[in-house]
Amino acid sequence: MGPFEVPSIGLGCMNVSHAYGVPATSEAAERLLRTALEEGVTHFDTAALYGFGANEELVGRVLAAHRERIVLASKCGMTGVDGRRVIDGRPETIRRTADEALGRLRTDVIDLYYLHRLDRAVPVEESVGAMAELVTAGKVRALGLSEVSAPTLRRAHAVHPIAALQNEYSLWSRNPEQGTLATAHELGVALVAFSPLARGFLTSAPPDPGGLPAGDIRRGMPRFDDRHYPGNLLLRHELERIAGEAGVTLAQLALAWVVSRGPHVVAIPGTRSVSHLRENLAVLDAVVPAEALDAAGRVLNASTVHGARYNEAALAEIDTERCGRAG
């Protein structure tokens, strides 16, 4: 991943502070991060947006003493302003956000700094140019992008080398296969797969859409609504059968599939559960038959999934390629 060597499974830290119902307690969140460190996780991913700064503060509080042992990733370009999520890729905003992040993370340098979203009002060259200045200033070591298309990746890479592209990638979100998976490989860019477990759908405890708390991001996602969720559950049952025959859990099958997509692909599943954390990390030592991975990919893919990954308003905000009927 750019100048860094990381295992193919890292930790996405968003879940404990943002988007999925009520945030975890400080005690539970700190326990999860410490356990991840003990279990050998070296790649931790956060963002200024998550908890509107609370997640960066958590990561800094828990991991600052172990800074030399980890690859620390965070993001700019999308933050909380007066209680609202705002996309802002202006150079002055990026510089300010970086300084704020360094303080919250209790570090002098961020290893990997992403542009969280492309601001359509600001050319990507201007945003990445400001981020490149952070590298020159010694505040950031490497740059990344998130939720962008292959053409945007190329434009950014021409301004400054891009170390990592973080896009959603899982059995049911195949958008990278429309261009960014191959382009990233060509340019020597790591593809960092977020939501590799389909926002909890491909775990031992899939969400009950009717019981999701107010504010849970999945309440607005078509794949979890009444029209589409029953059909997706039928596909999930078939995946459970494949996983059982392969001797792994459904989550392990799903993660193994993602990291098998190329030598440049790494995954950052998030969780609030220590047991799920350990289950996910066990993929690093698991041997999943290629036949099982192929079968899983045939069962759940862009052609078989029910519903788009985002609603139309959210899709309008992102720059990634759309993928068939799945958006």
Residue 166 falls inside a structural domain: yes
Residue 222 falls inside a structural domain: no
CA distances from 89 to 44, 47, 100, 244, 324 (A): 23, 14, 15, 45, 29
Residue 230 falls inside a structural domain: no
d(CA 48, CA 69) in angstroms, rounded, equals: 22
Residue 192 falls inside a structural domain: yes
Identify residue 77 by its one-letter amino acid code. Answer: G
Residue 120 falls inside a structural domain: yes
pLDDT the model gives residue 287: 96
The two tokens of residue 252 are: 């392990």
Q: What angle do CA 7, 8, 14 make, to 5 degrees?
A: 95
d(CA 316, CA 310) in angstroms, rounded, equals: 9
- Domain of residue 65: give its range: 11-205+258-286
Could you please report the per-residue DSSP string of 158-184?
Answer: HHS-EEEEEEE-BTTB-GGGGTHHHHH
d(CA 274, CA 276) in angstroms, rounded, equals: 5
CB of 77 within 8 A of CB of 71? no
Classify 24 in phi/psi space as left (phi over 0), alpha (psi -120 to 50) or beta.
beta
Is 50 an annotated catalytic residue?
A: yes
Residue 97 falls inside a structural domain: yes
Instruction: Give how many domains the chain has, as a whole number.
Output: 1
pLDDT the model gives residue 22: 87
Q: Using H for helix, E for strand and C for coil, what is the string for 67-118? A: HHHCEEEEEECEEEECCEEEECCCHHHHHHHHHHHHHHHCCCCEEEEEECCC
Classify 68 in phi/psi space as left (phi over 0), alpha (psi -120 to 50) or beta.
alpha
Of 293, 319, 324, the C-alpha closest to 308 is 324
pLDDT in tens, the chain (327 residues): 999 999 999 999 999 999 998 899 999 999 999 999 999 999 999 999 999 999 999 999 999 999 999 999 999 999 999 889 999 999 999 999 999 999 999 999 999 999 999 999 999 999 999 999 999 999 999 999 999 999 999 999 999 999 999 999 999 999 999 999 999 999 999 999 999 999 999 999 899 999 999 889 999 999 999 999 999 999 999 999 999 999 999 999 999 999 999 999 999 999 999 999 999 999 999 999 999 999 999 999 999 999 999 999 999 999 999 986 556
User: Domain with 79 in it: what CATH number?
Assistant: 3.20.20.100
Q: What is the DSSP letter of 21?
A: S
> Which of the residues 50, 113, 229, 310 is marked catalytic?
50
Residue 313 falls inside a structural domain: no
Q: What is the dihedral of CA 219, 221, 224, 225, to 10 degrees?
A: 80
pLDDT the model gives residue 291: 98
**Is 297 strand, coil or helix?**
helix
Residue 212 falls inside a structural domain: no
